[in-house]
Amino acid sequence: MLLNSALNEVIELLTAGLIDEQEGAEEDVENKNDEITGEPIDTEDKEEEQPVKRPRKTSKYMTKYERARILGTRALQISMNAPVMVELEGETDPLEIAMKELRERKIPFTIRRYLPDGSYEDWGVDELIVEDSWKRQVGGD
């Protein structure tokens, strides 16, 4: 009922000429860039900034939580037909393949470790030392 009365009121205002049909309608934004003037944005190829080499504050050992997340994420990728980074010797289980990739340091991931002050350190999986305790799950070398 409330909607009908609102529509009737709008129709009365339109017929009386008190409001324009286009009032409140969205503007055509197709050619809004015509009004922009000024210098073009600098698109020259700049050298990418290399991260500053600072002494790292965190441990060089991969934690069991990082290991679990890396293996789980990589196994999920492998199960969704991501390219495998190691030679397969009959392995079909994505988790076993991920463990083999980790053992051979072929997983192309970066671990970001946040520090209490809000900064962070990025470590490549190939830079971290993985404990030997997981080898008994795979069979070891």
| Number of structural domains in the chain | 1
CA 75, distance to chain mean position in Å, is 18
Question: How do residues 47-63 score in pLDDT, each as one tens digit?
Answer: 555 666 778 999 999 99
Residue 90 lies in a domain: yes
- Does residue 41 belong to any structural domain of this protein? no
What single string gives the DSSP state of each residue in 43-63?
---PPPPPPP-----S-SBPP
Q: Does some domain include residue 51?
A: no
Contact criterion met (CB below 8 Å) for 94 and 88: no
pTM over 0.75: no
CATH number of residue 97's parent domain: 3.90.940.10
Residue 94 placed within a domain: yes
Q: Please write the tens of the pLDDT for every residue from 9-57.
A: 777 777 776 666 555 545 555 555 555 555 556 555 555 556 667 789 9
Give the side-chain half-sphere CA count within 13 A for 71: 19
The CA distance from 93 to 96, in Å, is: 5
Contact 105, 113 (CB under 8 A): no
The answer to whether residue 25 sits within a structural domain is no
Domain of residue 84: give its range.
64-138
Instruction: Say if 27 falls within a structural domain.
Output: no
